């Protein structure tokens, strides 16, 4: 089961409540929650929440160790299989689209293609409409076309270029995937834009009230440089600039709110390309309990809890 959505939408609350009902364990799909000592800024689940429902792939790395999506996917796949072996339900939860895709759809190292073949493949695609290219993809790789949105020109071109260069469909080049071993159900959580933005504002105010400035200070005092990959998470660079007297605290909060809103917009753009996602709206008209009930209905309809594909 995959539960995804933009930052601050309320994924964790839904996932924890659902996990308790269906005997689940949560696998984090957040590229920044991997890092130790970065708790408030990455909205990690509290220790109490982690005690109520087991969480995985949190606090694995020191902030100066680069995260690697290939290694993450490998570890996540191992954990998901272990959860199944314990007769429990793995729930992949997060907002990092690339990390979710890496686990469910697999990643592969680019095959070596000589420049002439690559050039010929690109010329074959050049100046063709997105609709034409998508129809071509459906002809040569039905499996890949089912996972790529008809308007996602970048991914369509990538799949066609690989096929025209190598003669091998991208779905074959990819490694064996989780969704070929286990049935996978995608749930997307969203809210009305204004409500989501209000929640982002509230979250930013809350993390500062809970000691976010001290969290950033501690990282710097432990010699974690501001140019580290981990420190590029939203909130850290902005707060470092505040500590260096480059902007006021009020300005820092507003900048973090703005950057978080922009990030949420990018997340939604990424997720909307995936036709497999069942979208549910939280908010004034839908309470978490009602959304969980809808998820349970989807689980029953898809026979998801039966586990392995037949």
Inside any domain, residue 220: yes
Tell whether 273 is covered by a domain.
yes
Residue 263 has pLDDT above 90, yes or no: yes
- pLDDT at residue 15, rounded to an integer: 97
Identify whether 252 is part of a domain.
Answer: yes
CATH number of domain containing 247: 3.40.50.300
High-pLDDT (> 90) share of the chain, %: 71
Residue 309 confidence (pLDDT) above 50: no
φ, ψ dihedrals at 86, nearest 5°: -85, 10
pLDDT digits (tens, 9 = 90+) for 169-205: 887 776 555 555 667 899 999 999 999 999 999 999 9
CA distance 197 to 194: 5
Residue 262 CB neighbours (<10 A) = 11
Say which residues have a Cβ less than 8 Å from residue 218's Cβ, sequence separation at least 6.
37
Look at residue 35 and tell me if it is in a domain: yes
Structural domain that includes position 151: 115-174
**Rounded Cα distance, 231 and 225, in Å:** 8
Q: pTM of this prediction?
A: 0.78
196 and 60 fall within a common domain: yes
62-71, 161-170, 279-288 — which one is most confidently predicted on average? 62-71
Residue 123 lies in a domain: yes
309 vs 241, residue with greater confidence: 241
Q: Is residue 110 part of a domain?
A: no
Average pLDDT over residues 13-23: 96
């Amino acid at each position: 089961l995959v539960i995804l959505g933009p930052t601050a939408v309320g994924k964790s609350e839904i996932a924890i409540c659902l996990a308790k009902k269906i005997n689940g364990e949560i696998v984090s799909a957040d590229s920044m929650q991997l890092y130790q000592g970065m708790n408030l800024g990455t909205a990690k689940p509290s220790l109490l929440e982690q005690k109520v429902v087991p969480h995985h792939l949190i606090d694995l790395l020191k902030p100066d160790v680069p995260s690697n999506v290939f290694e993450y996917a490998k570890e996540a796949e191992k954990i998901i299989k272990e959860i199944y072996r314990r007769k429990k339900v793995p729930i992949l939860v997060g907002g990092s689209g690339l990390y979710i895709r890496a686990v469910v759809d697999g990643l592969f190292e680019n095959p070596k293609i000589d420049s002439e073949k690559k050039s010929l493949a690109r010329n074959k695609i050049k100046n063709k409409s997105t609709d034409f290219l998508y129809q071509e993809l459906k002809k040569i790789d039905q499996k890949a076309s089912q996972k790529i949105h008809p308007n996602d020109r970048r991914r369509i071109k990538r799949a066609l270029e690989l096929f025209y260069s190598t003669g091998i469909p991208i779905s074959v080049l990819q490694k064996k995937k989780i969704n070929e071993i286990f049935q996978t159900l995608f749930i997307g959580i969203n809210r009305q834009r204004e409500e989501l933005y209000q929640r982002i504002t509230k979250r930013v105010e809350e993390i500062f009230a809970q000691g976010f400035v001290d969290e950033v200070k501690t990282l710097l005092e432990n010699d974690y440089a501001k140019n580290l990959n981990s420190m590029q998470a939203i909130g850290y660079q902005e707060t470092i600039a505040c500590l260096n007297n480059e902007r006021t605290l009020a300005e820092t909060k507003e900048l973090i709110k703005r950057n978080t809103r922009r990030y949420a917009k990018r997340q939604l753009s990424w997720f909307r390309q995936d036709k497999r996602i069942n979208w549910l709206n939280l908010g004034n008209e839908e309470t978490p309990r009602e959304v969980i009930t809808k998820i349970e209905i989807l689980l029953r309809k898809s026979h998801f809890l039966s586990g392995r594909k037949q």
